[in-house]
Amino acid sequence: MSKRLKVWVSRPLFADALARLGQFVEVDAEPVERTHSAQDLRRQLAAVDGAIIGLADRFDATTLAGNDRLKVISNLAVGYNNLDIDALTRAGILACNTPDVLNETTADYAWALLLAAARRVGAAERWLRAGQWQGAMRFDDWLGVDVHGRTLGILGMGRIGQAVARRAGGFDMRVLYHNRHRLPESVECECAARWVDRETLLRQADHLVLVLPYTRENHHIIGAAELARMKRGSVLVNIARGGLVDEAALAASLREGHLAAAGLDVYEDEPVVHPDLLALEQVVLSPHLGSASAGTRRNMAGMAVDNVLAGLGLGPTAGRPPAPINPGVLDARRRGSKA
């Protein structure tokens, strides 16, 4: 009998997902959440044929150096800025992610942050829990920012951005968006959204939601200058990647009262949060929970398993992973060469 292939799972995963994976391969799954050093990653990857990994696991040419066994990895996320795709492709390693299954849940969470930030839910709850509500409040206490009837701006109108936009109809909002490329008219109609240039989006949005991928070009795409161009009293929500926002500049804008509030689920140096943001009551902070519903996380785990099995030529969709990032690797394998 031929030796079974081996897959490493870098973080705890649902037992049923691991059991399904174990029907086809030998599984080495981490029992607890922990940070893996570059040395740990290199050692683990040298001993396996596939891996299911998290966003905190960073893969570059150094991590992969000398590895001639690894065939496929799958991120437990839609984003993949932790992966050096060029290095993986040169090494003939298929990279996959888990898109689409988290669109609606992440859009829900964008609205949770938007509403909580606009209406000061976090600060008010902390005030209540501290025992400060001891009698009648002043009529002008805890005044937030209206959401209904205002203008929603979306920077990055992919599938998650579109899901955010579709929810705006229930709040009777005008929806503006900016992408590098305008969406088809049919999609704009479905989302009741209008394309504008980025400057117009910044000037006109009462609530601005960031849903674009992080790239070198997008680093600090919202900095001091962009924040200054936003409406006074507006709200910023970031559910995409922390590096999109200059966090020191955001804290300064909030401190000075130019922005009314912010809702953040992502940070530039996760899990570290900029201390200036921690000191501000106007910010709702959450620890990267956009996709964190039971159903969605199970779907993500299932897709990651499907990616790895298919990338190893196993299971019902052998050779056809649901979400390849560098599909040229598969074409090269069929030709018997590296991509």
In a domain, 92, yes or no: yes
Nearest to 44 by CA among 80, 10, 84: 10
ω into residue 271 within 30 of 0, thus cis? yes
Q: Where are the alpha helices (DSSP H) in the chain?
A: 15-22, 38-45, 61-64, 85-90, 103-118, 121-129, 159-167, 185-191, 198-204, 224-229, 247-255, 275-278, 294-311, 328-335
Backbone angles phi, psi at 209, to 5 degrees: -110, 130
Task: Examine the fold and report which residue of 267, 285, 303 is the final residue of a domain before the chain moves on.
Answer: 285
- Tell me the three state secondary structure of residue 283: strand
pLDDT tens digits, 42-55: 999 999 999 999 99
Q: Are 28 and 53 in contact (CB under 8 A)?
A: no
Q: d(Cα 76, Cα 125) in Å, to the nearest integer?
A: 32
In a domain, 117, yes or no: yes
Q: d(Cα 111, Cα 109) in Å, to the nearest integer?
A: 5
- Token pair of 229, please? 């161009």
250 lies in which domain range?
103-285
| CATH number of the domain residue 180 falls in | 3.40.50.720
Q: Are 50 and 314 in contact (CB under 8 A)?
A: no
Q: Are residues 19 and 40 in the same domain?
A: yes
Q: Are residues 113 and 199 in the same domain?
A: yes
β-strand pairing of 283-285 with 193-195: unpaired
Q: d(Cα 243, Cα 1) in Å, to the nearest integer?
A: 49
In a domain, 1, yes or no: no
In a domain, 150, yes or no: yes
Q: d(Cα 180, Cα 221) in Å, to the nearest integer?
A: 13
Say how many domains are in the chain.
2
Query: What's the length of the chain?
Result: 339
pLDDT tens digits, 308-322: 999 999 999 999 999
Q: Are residues 245 and 124 in the same domain?
A: yes
In a domain, 132, yes or no: yes
Q: Are residues 40 and 108 in the same domain?
A: no
Q: Are 305 and 52 in contact (CB under 8 A)?
A: yes
Q: Are residues 195 and 311 in the same domain?
A: no
Instruction: Count CB neighbours of 168 within 10 A.
Output: 24
Instruction: Count CB neighbours of 293 within 10 A.
Output: 16
Q: d(Cα 106, Cα 146) in Å, to the nearest integer?
A: 22
- Token pair of 181, please? 């490329």
Q: Are residues 181 and 277 in the same domain?
A: yes
Q: Are residues 70 and 107 in the same domain?
A: no
Q: Are residues 298 and 267 in the same domain?
A: no
Q: Are residues 265 and 324 in the same domain?
A: no
Q: Are 268 and 243 in contact (CB under 8 A)?
A: yes
Q: Are residues 82 and 149 in the same domain?
A: no
Residues of the chain with pLDDT under 50: 1
Backbone angles phi, psi at 80, to 5 degrees: -150, 35
- Tell me the three state secondary structure of residue 87: helix
Amino acid identity of residue 42, one-letter, is R
Look at residue 1 in the predicted model and tell me its pLDDT: 34
Nearest to 95 by CA among 80, 111, 114, 105: 80
Q: Computed from CA positions of residues 195, 201, 203, 205, in that sequence, does the dihedral angle turn out positive or negative?
A: positive
Look at residue 136 in the predicted model and tell me its pLDDT: 86
Q: Are residues 81 and 185 in the same domain?
A: no
Amino acid identity of residue 170, one-letter, is G
Q: Enumerate the active-site residues.
A: 241, 270, 288
Angle of CA points 64, 69, 71, to nearest 5°: 85
Q: Are residues 49 and 151 in the same domain?
A: no
Look at residue 337 in the predicted model and tell me its pLDDT: 62
